């Protein structure tokens, strides 16, 4: 940025949001100290139920036409692929129902998802023995990381529909990750690449004070 040039409105919003969330992490807000180690309660500690689905992003909502959307799956795999939307939709489809738990303290029960299961992706690309982590890369520059065993959990999917309707742009359409047992920042929107990696690569929020694992029942909100 040249001298005297001001950041765009979107840039200002993004910076303000990021700084706010970094302060939240630094101050340890929303922590109750009441970990539910056995997951005896459906609602994790410090969470409250909502009926609507809040929209959270970095101040950018990429608009990706279906005819240009592509998903690259590569890294430590035996069969790297690039899928267009039609190819993605031709993969076996699943319907899952799961809850959402956002680190900003809201939870929403019984979300209906349609998409492609993580097991189908694993069977397709065949991770090598060296693969240990999965890194999601998004069209807005966002990244987040999970362990391979988390990606392989039976309720993880790449969703293209919610409540029977095409996943909207503001909620991460055309395709987003759904990792329901972890805080929802791990469920990256606007997916463009899934990288299988031998080494961990902390993502956008993980590098800004948020926990590397993100288990809601043990309140892994911050690092």
Over residues 120-156, the pLDDT tens digits come to 999 999 999 999 999 999 999 999 999 999 999 999 9
Cα–Cα distance, 222 to 52 (Å, whole number): 25
Q: Specify the pLDDT at position 56.
A: 84
96-99: which pairs have CB atoms within 8 A and are 24 or more residues apart? 96/155, 96/157, 96/178, 96/180, 98/155, 98/178, 98/180, 99/42, 99/180
Q: Is residue 75 part of a domain?
A: yes
Q: Is residue 4 part of a domain?
A: no
More confidently predicted of 61 and 165: 165
Q: Is residue 97 part of a domain?
A: yes
Q: What is the CATH number of the domain that holds 126?
A: 3.90.420.10
Number of domains in the chain: 1
Q: Is residue 151 part of a domain?
A: yes
Asked whether residue 2 carries a pLDDT value surpassing 50, the answer given is no
Q: Is residue 22 part of a domain?
A: yes
Asked whether residue 9 carries a pLDDT value surpassing 50, the answer given is no
Averaged confidence pLDDT in the chain: 93
State the residue range of the domain holding 129. Answer: 9-218
Say what the pTM is: 0.92
Q: Is residue 2 part of a domain?
A: no
Residue 70, both tokens? 């592509």
């Amino acid at each position: 940025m040249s001298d005297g040039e001001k950041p765009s409105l979107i840039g200002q919003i993004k910076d303000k949001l990021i700084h706010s969330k970094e302060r939240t992490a630094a101050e340890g807000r929303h922590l109750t100290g009441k970990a539910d180690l056995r997951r005896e309660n459906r609602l994790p500690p410090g969470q409250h139920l909502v009926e609507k689905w809040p929209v959270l992003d970095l101040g950018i909502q990429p608009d990706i036409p279906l005819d240009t959307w592509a998903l690259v799956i590569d890294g430590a795999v035996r069969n790297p692929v690039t899928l267009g939307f039609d190819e993605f939709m031709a993969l076996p489809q699943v319907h899952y129902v799961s809850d959402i738990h956002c680190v900003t303290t809201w939870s929403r029960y019984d979300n209906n998802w349609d998409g492609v299961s993580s097991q189908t992706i694993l069977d397709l690309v065949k991770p090598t023995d060296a693969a240990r982590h999965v890194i999601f890369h998004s069209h807005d520059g966002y990244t987040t990381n999970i362990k391979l065993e988390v990606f392989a959990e039976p309720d993880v999917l790449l969703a293209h529909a919610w409540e029977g309707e095409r996943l909207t742009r503001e909620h991460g359409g055309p395709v987003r990750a759904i990792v329901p047992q972890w805080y929802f920042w791990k469920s990256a929107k606007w997916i463009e690449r899934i990288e299988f990696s031998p080494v961990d690569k902390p993502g956008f929020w993980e590098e800004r004070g948020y926990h590397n694992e993100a288990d809601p029942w043990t309140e892994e909100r911050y690092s």
